[in-house]
Amino acid sequence: MNIMTFDGYHAKIGYDAERDVFRGEILGLTGGADFYGRDTRELRAEFKKSLQVFLKACREKGIEPRRNYSGRFNLRIPAELHEKLAIVAQAEGKSINTLAQEALQQRVAA
């Protein structure tokens, strides 16, 4: 996963073959903000500029720039996997929620 970070904000980086440049998309915002650069130095400078423009627009409109996350989401999985998770959780003396949190934490830390 190609993630660039600036000032606590994260952007997904990809390659735009049509333009022959790298493209960044700032993640976790209440709106859209992207930027382009030919190399990492230019990409980082454009990230900063794009973020500043987005934050200024949010201030002017009285909008919160970051998305709000509740800490809850629904996950649909096959019944067989649900059963296996329940058995592993019980065997470890944990809830399915705790087991899922641990697995998700390992994945995002990788």
**One domain, residues 34 and 84:** no
Average pLDDT over every residue of 32-50: 96
Q: Is residue 67 part of a domain?
A: no
Total domains in the chain come to 2
pLDDT in tens, 74-97: 999 999 999 999 999 999 999 999
List Cβ<8 Å contacts ≥24 apart for 1-8: 4/43, 4/44, 4/47, 6/44, 6/47, 6/48, 6/51, 7/48, 7/51
Report in angstroms the alpha-carbon separations of 37 from 6, 11, 15: 15, 13, 10
Domain of 15 in residue numbering reads as 3-61
The answer as to whether 70 is a domain residue is no
Q: Do 7 and 56 share a domain, yes or no?
A: yes
Q: Same structural domain for residues 88 and 43?
A: no
Tell me the pTM: 0.79
Question: Is residue 53 in a domain?
Answer: yes
Residue 103 predicted with pLDDT over 80: yes
Residues 17 and 49 in one domain: yes
**24 and 52 inside one domain:** yes
Task: Work out the pLDDT band at 19, boundaries 50, 70, 90.
Answer: very high
Token pair 């934490």 is found at 105
Residue 56, pLDDT score: 97
Query: Same structural domain for residues 57 and 84?
Result: no
The pLDDT mean for the chain works out to 94
